[in-house]
Amino acid sequence: MEYDFREIEKKWQAYWAANRTFRAEEDPSRPKYYVLDMFPYPSGAGLHVGHPLGYIASDIYSRYKRLCGFNVLHPMGYDAFGLPAEQYAIQTGQHPAVTTARNIARYREQLDRIGFSFDWSREIRTCDPEYYKWTQWAFLKMFGSYYDNDLQKARPIEELTAAFETRGTEGVNAACSRELPFTADRWKSMSDREKSDVLMNYRIAYQGETAVNWCPKLGTVLANDEVKDGYSVRGGYPVEQKKMTQWQLRVSAYAGRLLDDLEALDWSDSLKDMQRNWIGRSEGAEMVFRAINGDAEYDMTIFTTRADTVFGVTFMVLAPESEWVEKLTSPEQKAAVEEYLAAAKKKTERERLSETRKVTGVFSGSYAVNPLTGDRVPIWISEYVLAGYGTGAIMAVPAHDSRDYAFARRFNLPIIPLIEGCDVSEAAFDAKEGVMCNSGFLNGLTVKEAIPAAIEYVESHGIGRRKVNYRLRDAIFSRQRYWGEPFPIYFKDGIATPMPFESLPLELPEVDKYLPTESGEPPLGRAEHWDVDGWPIEKSTMPGFAGSSAYYLRYMDPHNGKALVGREANEYWRSVDLYVGGTEHATGHLIYSRFWNKFLYDLGCVCEKEPFRKLINQGMIQGRSNFVYRIVNTNTFVSAGLKADYETTEIHVDVNIVHNDRLDLEAFRNWMPEYRNAEFILENGEYVCGHAIEKMSKSMYNVVNPDKVCDTYGADTLRLYEMFLGPVEQSKPWDTKGIDGVHRFLRRVWRLFHERDVFTVSDEAPTPQELKTLHKLIFKVKTDIENFSFNTAVSAFMIAVNELYEHKCSKRAVLEPLVVLLSPFAPHIAEELWEKLGHSGSVSGAEFPEYVESYTEEDSCTYAVSFNGKTRFTVDLPKSMTREEVDSHVRGLDQTEKYVAGGKIVKVIVVPGKIVNIVVK
Partner RNA sequence: GCCCGGAUGGCGGAAUCGGUAGACGCGUUGGUCUCAAACACCAAUGUCCGAAAGGAUGUGCCGGUUCGACCCCGGCUCCGGGUACCA
Query: Where in 262-281 is the site for RNA (CB under 7 A)?
Result: 269-270, 273-274, 277-278, 280
Q: Which of residues 791-830 bind RNA (CB under 7 A)?
A: 791-792, 794-795, 798-799, 802, 805-806
Pairwise CA distance, residues 832 & 9, whole Å: 9
Measured from the CB atom, the residue of 37 and 383 that comes closer to RNA is 383
> Shortest approach of RNA to residue 164 CB, angstroms?
31
Measured from the CB atom, the residue of 176 and 310 that comes closer to RNA is 310
CA distances from 293 to 321, 379, 411 (A): 18, 10, 21
> Shortest approach of RNA to residue 135 CB, angstroms?
24
Sequence-ordered strand ranges (E) for 426-523: 464-470, 475-476, 489-492, 495-498
Over the window 348 to 367, marking each residue x when it contacts RNA by CB under 7 A and - when it does not, the resulting string is ----xx-xxxx---------
Measured from the CB atom, the residue of 239 and 586 that comes closer to RNA is 586
Alpha carbon 578 to its chain centroid, in Å, reads 14
Measured from the CB atom, the residue of 837 and 915 that comes closer to RNA is 915
Question: Do residues 380 and 337 touch, judged by C-beta distance below 8 A?
Answer: no
> Shortest approach of RNA to residue 871 CB, angstroms?
4
Pairwise CA distance, residues 74 & 36, whole Å: 6
Measured from the CB atom, the residue of 196 and 622 that comes closer to RNA is 622
Pairwise CA distance, residues 96 & 88, whole Å: 8
> Shortest approach of RNA to residue 271 CB, angstroms?
8
Which of 103, 135, 469, 541 touches RNA (CB under 7 A)?
A: 469
Question: Do residues 864 and 874 touch, judged by C-beta distance below 8 A?
Answer: yes
Q: Which of residues 902-921 bind RNA (CB under 7 A)?
A: 907, 909, 911, 914-915, 917, 919
Q: Which of residues 853-872 bind RNA (CB under 7 A)?
A: 862, 864, 866, 868-869, 871-872
Q: Which of residues 8-37 bind RNA (CB under 7 A)?
A: none
Pairwise CA distance, residues 628 & 690, whole Å: 7
Question: Do residues 470 and 281 touch, judged by C-beta distance below 8 A?
Answer: yes
Runs of H (alpha helix) within 461-543: none
Over the window 315 to 344, marking each residue x when it contacts RNA by CB under 7 A and - when it does not, the resulting string is ----x-------------------------
Residue 809: how many other CB atoms lie within 10 Å: 23
Q: Which residues 6+ apart lie within 8 Å of 856 measured at CB?
A: 772, 775, 776, 779
Measured from the CB atom, the residue of 383 and 485 that comes closer to RNA is 383
> Shortest approach of RNA to residue 724 CB, angstroms?
7
Q: How many residues bind RNA (CB under 7 A)?
A: 86
> Shortest approach of RNA to residue 439 CB, angstroms?
16
> Shortest approach of RNA to residue 909 CB, angstroms?
5
For residue 843, give the nearest of 857, 856, 864, 829 by alpha carbon.
829
- For the chain, give me the number of helices (H) and strands (E)? 30, 37
Helix (H, G, I), strand (E, B) or coil at 597: helix
Sequence-ordered strand ranges (E) for 202-341: 205-215, 220-222, 227-228, 231-232, 240-249, 281-293, 296-304, 315-318
Question: Do residues 192 and 495 touch, judged by C-beta distance below 8 A?
Answer: yes
Measured from the CB atom, the residue of 220 and 583 that comes closer to RNA is 583
Measured from the CB atom, the residue of 488 and 824 that comes closer to RNA is 824
Which of 216, 726, 841, 878 touches RNA (CB under 7 A)?
A: 726
Over the window 774 to 793, marking each residue x when it contacts RNA by CB under 7 A and - when it does not, the resulting string is ------x--xx--x-x-xx-
DSSP per position, 168-211: TTTT--B--SS-----HHHHHTS-HHHHHHHHHTTBSEEEEEEE
Pairwise CA distance, residues 330 & 311, whole Å: 26
Assess 748 for contact with RNA (CB under 7 A).
yes
Over the window 573 to 612, marking each residue x when it contacts RNA by CB under 7 A and - when it does not, the resulting string is ----------xx-xx-------------------------
Measured from the CB atom, the residue of 85 and 781 that comes closer to RNA is 781
Q: Which of residues 213-242 bind RNA (CB under 7 A)?
A: 224-225, 228
Assess 754 for contact with RNA (CB under 7 A).
no
What angle in degrees, to the nearest 10, is found between the helix axes of 827-836 and 715-724? Answer: 130
Pairwise CA distance, residues 764 & 811, whole Å: 6
User: Sign of dihedral through CA atoms 20, 23, 25, 27?
Assistant: positive
Helix (H, G, I), strand (E, B) or coil at 823: coil
Q: Which of residues 387-426 bind RNA (CB under 7 A)?
A: 388-390, 392, 394, 401, 403
> Shortest approach of RNA to residue 916 CB, angstroms?
8
> Shortest approach of RNA to residue 663 CB, angstroms?
17
Measured from the CB atom, the residue of 634 and 769 that comes closer to RNA is 769
Residue 888: how many other CB atoms lie within 10 Å: 11
